Amino acid sequence: MASKARALPRIHGDDTPVTGGLDDISRFLVDLPEPAMDTDDELVREILTLFALHPEMQSRYSEMDLRAMDDATRHVMLEQIRASLGIPPLRRHVR
Protein backbone atom coordinates (compact mmCIF):
# COMPACT_ATOMS: atom_id res chain seq x y z
CA MET A 1 0.00 0.00 0.00
CA ALA A 2 1.41 3.33 -1.01
CA SER A 3 2.35 5.74 1.70
CA LYS A 4 -0.18 8.44 2.26
CA ALA A 5 2.12 10.73 4.17
CA ARG A 6 0.73 14.21 4.00
CA ALA A 7 2.75 17.35 4.04
CA LEU A 8 2.12 19.47 7.09
CA PRO A 9 0.37 22.70 6.25
CA ARG A 10 2.86 25.54 6.24
CA ILE A 11 2.79 27.57 9.40
CA HIS A 12 3.68 31.14 8.79
CA GLY A 13 6.23 32.90 10.89
CA ASP A 14 5.63 35.51 13.53
CA ASP A 15 3.43 38.16 11.99
CA THR A 16 4.46 40.79 14.51
CA PRO A 17 5.07 44.01 12.60
CA VAL A 18 8.05 46.10 13.56
CA THR A 19 6.37 48.69 15.74
CA GLY A 20 7.35 52.07 17.12
CA GLY A 21 10.87 53.37 17.34
CA LEU A 22 10.14 57.10 17.39
CA ASP A 23 12.96 59.12 18.92
CA ASP A 24 10.64 61.49 20.75
CA ILE A 25 7.58 59.92 22.34
CA SER A 26 7.05 62.57 25.03
CA ARG A 27 3.73 63.77 23.62
CA PHE A 28 2.29 60.28 24.06
CA LEU A 29 3.24 60.24 27.73
CA VAL A 30 1.89 61.77 30.90
CA ASP A 31 4.30 63.47 33.30
CA LEU A 32 4.10 61.67 36.61
CA PRO A 33 6.03 62.35 39.79
CA GLU A 34 8.91 59.91 39.90
CA PRO A 35 8.94 57.46 42.81
CA ALA A 36 10.98 58.66 45.75
CA MET A 37 12.62 55.26 46.13
CA ASP A 38 14.99 53.83 43.53
CA THR A 39 14.66 50.06 43.54
CA ASP A 40 15.34 46.95 41.49
CA ASP A 41 12.78 44.98 43.50
CA GLU A 42 9.91 44.11 41.15
CA LEU A 43 7.31 44.03 43.90
CA VAL A 44 8.31 47.40 45.34
CA ARG A 45 8.45 48.90 41.89
CA GLU A 46 4.92 47.65 41.18
CA ILE A 47 3.59 49.29 44.34
CA LEU A 48 5.43 52.55 43.66
CA THR A 49 4.08 52.59 40.11
CA LEU A 50 0.54 52.13 41.41
CA PHE A 51 1.13 55.03 43.81
CA ALA A 52 2.32 57.24 40.97
CA LEU A 53 -0.65 56.32 38.78
CA HIS A 54 -3.17 56.52 41.62
CA PRO A 55 -1.98 59.17 44.09
CA GLU A 56 -4.99 58.56 46.35
CA MET A 57 -3.49 55.16 47.15
CA GLN A 58 -0.20 56.74 48.17
CA SER A 59 -2.07 58.96 50.60
CA ARG A 60 -3.88 56.00 52.07
CA TYR A 61 -0.65 54.09 52.68
CA SER A 62 1.55 57.03 53.56
CA GLU A 63 2.28 55.61 57.02
CA MET A 64 3.60 52.35 55.63
CA ASP A 65 7.34 51.89 55.14
CA LEU A 66 7.93 49.71 52.09
CA ARG A 67 11.61 49.31 52.94
CA ALA A 68 10.79 47.79 56.31
CA MET A 69 8.29 45.25 54.96
CA ASP A 70 9.00 41.66 54.06
CA ASP A 71 7.78 40.34 50.70
CA ALA A 72 4.73 38.63 52.18
CA THR A 73 3.53 41.91 53.66
CA ARG A 74 4.22 43.72 50.40
CA HIS A 75 2.17 41.11 48.53
CA VAL A 76 -0.76 41.67 50.89
CA MET A 77 -0.45 45.41 50.45
CA LEU A 78 -0.34 45.07 46.67
CA GLU A 79 -3.47 42.93 46.68
CA GLN A 80 -5.21 45.44 48.94
CA ILE A 81 -4.33 48.32 46.63
CA ARG A 82 -5.59 46.43 43.60
CA ALA A 83 -8.79 45.49 45.39
CA SER A 84 -9.33 49.13 46.40
CA LEU A 85 -8.90 50.16 42.77
CA GLY A 86 -11.34 47.47 41.62
CA ILE A 87 -8.75 45.63 39.56
CA PRO A 88 -9.85 42.03 38.93
CA PRO A 89 -6.97 39.61 39.49
CA LEU A 90 -5.35 38.00 36.50
CA ARG A 91 -5.15 34.27 36.14
CA ARG A 92 -1.70 32.82 36.17
CA HIS A 93 -0.51 31.88 32.72
CA VAL A 94 -1.13 28.25 31.85
CA ARG A 95 0.79 26.63 29.04
Partner 1 sequence: MHEIPYPVSITSCRDGSRQEAEVIRLTRELASSAIKARWWADPGLTLQEASREGDYHWDWVDHVGGLRARPFARAVAIRTTDGNLQAAMTYRVNGRSCLTPGDRAIFGDRLAAAPWNRDGLVSVPLYRGAGTALMVHAVADGHTLGLGGRMTLLSLPTPATRQFYERLGFQETGVEAGGMIQYELVPERATILLRDHGRL
Binding site for partner 1 (CB under 8 A): 8-22, 25, 28-32, 34-35, 42-43, 45-46, 48-50, 52-54, 78, 82, 85-88, 90-95
CB of residue 27 vs partner 1: minimum separation in angstroms?
8
CA gap 53, 50 in Å, rounded: 5
In this complex, which beta carbon is closest to partner 1, that of residue 15 or of residue 65? 15
For residues 67 and 37, the answer to whether their CB atoms sit within 8 Å is yes
Q: What angle do CA 86, 92, 94 make, to 5 degrees?
A: 145
CB of residue 43 vs partner 1: minimum separation in angstroms?
5
